[in-house]
Amino acid sequence: MKTSESSASAVFEVFNLKRDLSELIMDRSSWTWRRVLPGLCVAAVATAVCGCKGDDAKPEGKATVARAAVATVERAPIEKTLSVAGEFVPFQEVELHAKVAGYIRRINVDIGDKVRTGEVLATLEVPELNAQVTGAEAGVRHSQEEIALAKSEVVRAEANYHALHMAADRLRQAAGARPGMIAQQELDDAEAKDRAAEAQVAVAKSTVAAQEQQMAVASAEKMHYSSLADYSRITAPFDGVVTWRYADTGALIQAGTSNAGSMPVVKVAEVSVLRLRIPVPESLAGYVRDGDVADVRVQATGDRFRGKVVRTTGALDRTTRSMQVEVDVANPKGRLTPGMYADVTLRIAGSPDALTVPVQALDRGTNGTSVLVVKRDHTVERRAVRTGLETPDAVQVVDGLHEGERVIVGNLASFEPGQHVDARPSAMAQASAGKEQ
């Protein structure tokens, strides 16, 4: 009613203005007509316009439908990766100690020298050890002579036994042929000598056995000191490079077995193959498997190559809460050096045809993970889902959704189950579609 009254009032005012204009036109010579006419025209037009706007100023209220940015559930490849810095370490590295104490008579290598397995790196001077080796060799020769003497004694005892045994047999045969011919005392003496000679043979053989055992002891002692003498030459345990030299000619070196703080002579590392050691955090340690692909970029050289995980510690470091993973890297030309860092992208797990949604579609709450699905009738439904692999942009849905369904992306707290929405593709979905085209 108020709108109709204002419209009628506006029309009435326009009518009055027209009447005034008619009167002014009748008197064209009037000064007032020339000055007032333009203003009256403007006022009339403004009044009419204001009256028309008043009709539409307050339209009747209508119910609004909230807009919702949605993304389509679709199948796409998804891959879980880890980007982390790794460090190159030698495949093998060892500090070589002296087995015996002595002075360095000669050292044959220096840092950076390449060595082969068995190559003599340093020689020690151990005078007392040489004397011990000489004594052990003399002990062996003495045992050999004792064995020879004992064997000769066995031969002599056996010959004596043989003679006495034959004499006793003849007396027994004669006494048997002619009883009483040989006195019993003589027979008893012959048998006693026979048994004594037999016992002497057994003693001689036992002496030989004892001397042979003594020979074994002497030989073992000789081997012991000879082995220690061999340890006076420090050799390379594998092919590698000398990374450090701790001693010079004439330096006194303590035995590594008797002194825990003994100084090593040299350090040798195998660098033809390097270990790329990668710390994997606790949250991803369970995904790592032998054979996983690792893309490597060496910061110092700019080299890029691909490797595979060959071994893991299988346990977390209690200090860093990470698991050490290793990739073997061939280094035949020595271009890579232990201690270099590399940027590693580890492909932990993946699926070539996974059902995926944007990460922004997930609502992670105390009751589990859910999404808001826009049904065909444009109403919202909350649905629980079970997720799998996750990347910074997308997440795999293992259960709870079907391909082609639409889920709300972002601002999830603004929507309630059962609410009607105006579903519009999200900017992320449009950008993804543009990339695919």
**Least confident segment among 23-32, 244-253, 402-411:** 23-32
- What residue has token string 């701790």? 246
Q: What is the reported pLDDT for 21?
A: 45
Q: What is the reported pLDDT for 10?
A: 46
R_g of the chain, CA atoms, integer Å: 54
Q: What is the reported pLDDT for 106?
A: 93
Q: What is the reported pLDDT for 171?
A: 83
Sorting pLDDT into bands at 50, 70 and 90, what band is 432?
A: low
User: Does position 124 have pLDDT exceeding 60, yes or no?
Assistant: yes
> Maximum CA pair distance of the chain?
208
Residue among 317, 397, 304 nearest 345 (CA) = 304
Q: How far from the centroid of its chain's Cα atoms is residue 244's Cα?
A: 27
Sorting pLDDT into bands at 50, 70 and 90, what band is 225?
A: confident
Rounded mean pLDDT of 196-204?
90
Across the beta sheet with 102-107, the strand order is: 233-235, 120-125, 102-107, 252-253
Query: Residue type at 181?
Result: M
The number of beta carbons lying within 10 Å of the beta carbon of residue 137 is 16
Instruction: Tell me which range, 56-65, 225-234, 307-316, is most confidently predicted by mean pLDDT.
Output: 307-316
User: Does position 23 have pLDDT exceeding 80, yes or no?
Assistant: no
User: Does position 70 have pLDDT exceeding 90, yes or no?
Assistant: yes
Strands 386-390 vs 394-399: parallel, antiparallel or unpaired: antiparallel
The answer to whether 239 touches 272, Cβ cutoff 8 Å, is yes
Sorting pLDDT into bands at 50, 70 and 90, what band is 417?
A: very high
Structure tokens at 292: 């996983």
Higher pLDDT, 425 or 9: 425
User: Does position 278 have pLDDT exceeding 50, yes or no?
Assistant: yes
- What residue has token string 């309630």? 416
Higher pLDDT, 249 or 42: 249
The answer to whether 313 touches 335, Cβ cutoff 8 Å, is no
Output the 3-class SS for the chain: CHHHHHHHHHHHHHHHHHHHHHHHHHCCCCHHHHHHHHHHHHHHHHHHHHHHHHHHCCCCCCCCCEEEEEEECEEEEEEEEEEEEEEEEEEEEEEECCCCCEEEEEECCCCCCEECCCCEEEEEECHHHHHHHHHHHHHHHHHHHHHHHHHHHHHHHHHHHHHHHHHHHHHHHHHHHCCCCCCHHHHHHHHHHHHHHHHHHHHHHHHHHHHHHHHHHHHHHHHHHHHHHHCCEEECCCCEEEEEECCCCCCEECCCCCCCCCCCCEEEEEEEEEEEEEEEEHHHHCCCCCCCEEEEEECCCCCEEEEEEEEECCCCECCCCEEEEEEEEECCCCCCCCCCEEEEEEEEEEEEEEEEEEHHHCEEECCEEEEEEECCCCEEEEEECEEEEECCCEEEEEECCCCCCEEECCCHHHCCCCCEEEEEECHHHHHHHHHHC
Q: What is the reported pLDDT for 189?
A: 86
**Least confident segment among 170-179, 273-282, 291-300, 316-325:** 170-179
User: Does position 59 have pLDDT exceeding 50, yes or no?
Assistant: no
pLDDT in tens, 3-21: 444 444 444 454 454 455 4
Residue 230 burial class via C-beta count within 10 angstroms: exposed 0-12, middle 13-18, buried 19 and up: exposed
Strands 66-72 vs 421-425: parallel, antiparallel or unpaired: parallel
Read off φ and ψ for residue 100, nearest 5 degrees: -125, 155
Higher pLDDT, 314 or 35: 314
Read off φ and ψ for residue 193, nearest 5 degrees: -65, -35
Q: Is the pTM of this model over 0.85?
A: no
Q: What is the reported pLDDT for 34?
A: 45
Q: What is the reported pLDDT for 260?
A: 63
User: Does position 320 have pLDDT exceeding 70, yes or no?
Assistant: yes
Beta bridge partners of 101: none
Query: Residue type at 404?
Result: G
The answer to whether 269 touches 111, Cβ cutoff 8 Å, is no
pLDDT in tens, 79-97: 888 889 999 999 999 999 9
Q: CA–CA separation, 338 vs 390, rounded Å?
A: 34
Residue 58 burial class via C-beta count within 10 angstroms: exposed 0-12, middle 13-18, buried 19 and up: exposed
User: Does position 54 have pLDDT exceeding 70, yes or no?
Assistant: no
pLDDT in tens, 359-409: 999 999 888 899 999 999 999 999 999 998 888 889 999 999 999 999 999
Read off φ and ψ for residue 253, nearest 5 degrees: -115, 130
Q: What is the reported pLDDT for 437?
A: 47
Sorting pLDDT into bands at 50, 70 and 90, what band is 47?
A: very low
Higher pLDDT, 20 or 337: 337
Q: What is the reported pLDDT for 133?
A: 86
Q: What is the reported pLDDT for 310?
A: 94
